[in-house]
Structure 1
Amino acid sequence: MDLNALADFALVASNGGLGKASRASGKSKATLSRRIADLEEQLGVRLIERGARGLKLTEAGEMLMARTEGPMHEVADAMTATREGLAAPRGRLRIASPVLFSQLAMGRICAEFCAAYPEVTVDLVAEDRLVDLVEEQFDIAIRINPSPDSSLVGRCFAKDRLVVVAAPSVPVPSPGVVTAVPGIVFSNFQPSHWSLDEGRLIVQPVPRLRLSSFLMIRDAAVAGAGAALMPQSIAWGQLTRGELVQWGTVSDADVALWVLHTSRRLPSPKVRAFVEFICNQYPEGSLVLKG
C-alpha cells in the first residue's frame, strides 16, 4: 500500500474536503483526488462519495479512517522526532587518527568538542594504519597527505613544514657545500641528504642515533646528539624557547593533515560539526599555531 496515498486520504477526511485539505497542505486538489482514486483501486472499495454537497466517507472509508488515524499520527510524530533529533549533533563519533597527532593534539581537541556538543561521545583510536571507515565503522579519519580516494571526502585543515633542527651547541654547516653532520634519524633511515631552503644548505646526516618516534628524536636533538629532520610543529615549543635552532626548511615537502569521511551527501550532524570544529582549531591552516 502507498503510504503517501493513505496519508492524503487521511488529510482529506480530517479536513472534510479536497479544497480545505489542499489549502491546509499546499497540495493541489488534482493530486489529492488522484491519490485517493489510486488508494480506492488498490483496496477495491469506494472510500469517499463525491456528491453535490461535497465529500462523504463511505462505511469502508470510515472504517479505514478509524483504524489508521492514530497510527498515521504516530508515524508523523516519529518522522518529526527523527528530523529534530538528527538536526543536533548527538551519539557516538568514532575517529581514527595518526598516533603522533593524537598524542600532541587530539586529547585537547576531543575534550573541547565534547564540551561544545555535550550529546556527542567520542571514541578515538590512535594508530597509523589506514583504517577502512565503512568496514570498521569509523565516522571520521584524520590522515597525513592522503592519496586520492573517490570513496572519501573532506578538508585539509592544517599544514606543517619539514625542518632540520639541532641544539645551539651543534655547529651550523656552511652554505653551498655538502656537509656531513651527526644525525638523529628514524630506525629505517636510508642514506640520503637534506636539501634545505631550495639548496642553500645541503646536509649529509651520519646516523648517530636511530629512533622510532619523532618525540624521541626531538628530545635527543635537544640533548645535543645531532641534527634531526622533523615536522616544525613538533619542535615549535623547543624552537621558541631556544632549546633548538632551525637550520632550514625542506623544499616542496609540506605535511598536510586532512579530516575525511565517507559520504559527500548528507553527512550526519556530528560529522559535519567535527569537521567544522577541527578546521576552526587551525584558522590560519598551520599546525604550529597550536603547538
Structure 2
Amino acid sequence: MDGVTTGVRATARIVARDDGRGGTSLPVLAGEGPLALRRTRARGTEARVMLVGAMSGPLGGDHFTVEATVGSGALLRTGSAAATIALPGQAKGEARYDVRLDVAADGELHWLPEQLISAGGSELSVSTRIDLAPGARLVYREEQVLGRFGEQPGRLTSRLTVRLAGRPLLDQEVACGPGAPGGWDGPAVLAGHRAMGQLLVVRPEFQRHPAEARMLGESAALTPLAGPGVLVTAVAPNALRLRRVLNEVLETLA
C-alpha cells in the first residue's frame, strides 16, 4: 500500500417502529467498528438507544455515519455514553461525521448526544440532515466544545439541514478553528466562548401557536422558525454551563 494510511469507515443504523401494543420496537439496531449501539431501559411507549464509542475518534481520515429512522407512532430517544472527541490521526485529510435522521408522521425522535470536542490539531466536518414528515415531532440537541482544557481547538465545520415535507425548515453552517473564515471568535460570533450549542424543537402545536423570539440571558436566544419549530442557540465558557442553559430552556418548552 506504499505506506498510505486510510481512515476507518463505520456506519450505525437504528430503525424504530410502533410495535402495535403501545410501545416501540427496534427491528434494526446495528453498529460496526467504533460505533456500537445499545438498547437501554425504556419508559412508557418509548425505546431508548445509547451510542457507545468502542474506539477513539473520529481521527483524521475517518468517516462515521449514524442513521436513524422513526416510523409513524414510534417514539425513540437516543443519547451517547460519552463525549465524542475529534483527534488528529495518522491519515491525512479531515474526518467526517454524518448524521441522517428521518421521522414519519406521528413519529417522535429525541436526539440528545453528549458534546463533540474539537481537540487541537484535528479537522472534522459534521453534516446532519433531518427529514421530517408533516406531524412529526423532534427534539434535537447539539453541543460543540472548542478544545480541551487549556488547548486551542482544531478545525470544525458543522452543517445542519432540516426539511419538513420536503421543504427547507432550517439550513445553517458554522466553521471554527484554524483556517476558518475570519471573525469566528469575534464579538459578533463566539466572543471568546469555547462552548456553543443549539436546541431544535419541532412540534405541530407551534404551527397554531408560534413561540415568540426572545433573549435567554446574555448568551442565548430563542428564534421561531418559518414552520412548526423553534431554534435555541447558545454560547458559554464551558460545556457544563452550556448544558445547563439548554436544559433550562427545554424544560420551558416541554
For the aligned pair, the TM-score class normalised by the smaller chain equals: under 0.3
Quick one: higher RCO (CA 8 Å, sep 6+), 1 or 2? 1
Higher helix content, 1 or 2: 1
Per the normalisation by structure 1, the TM-score is 0.19
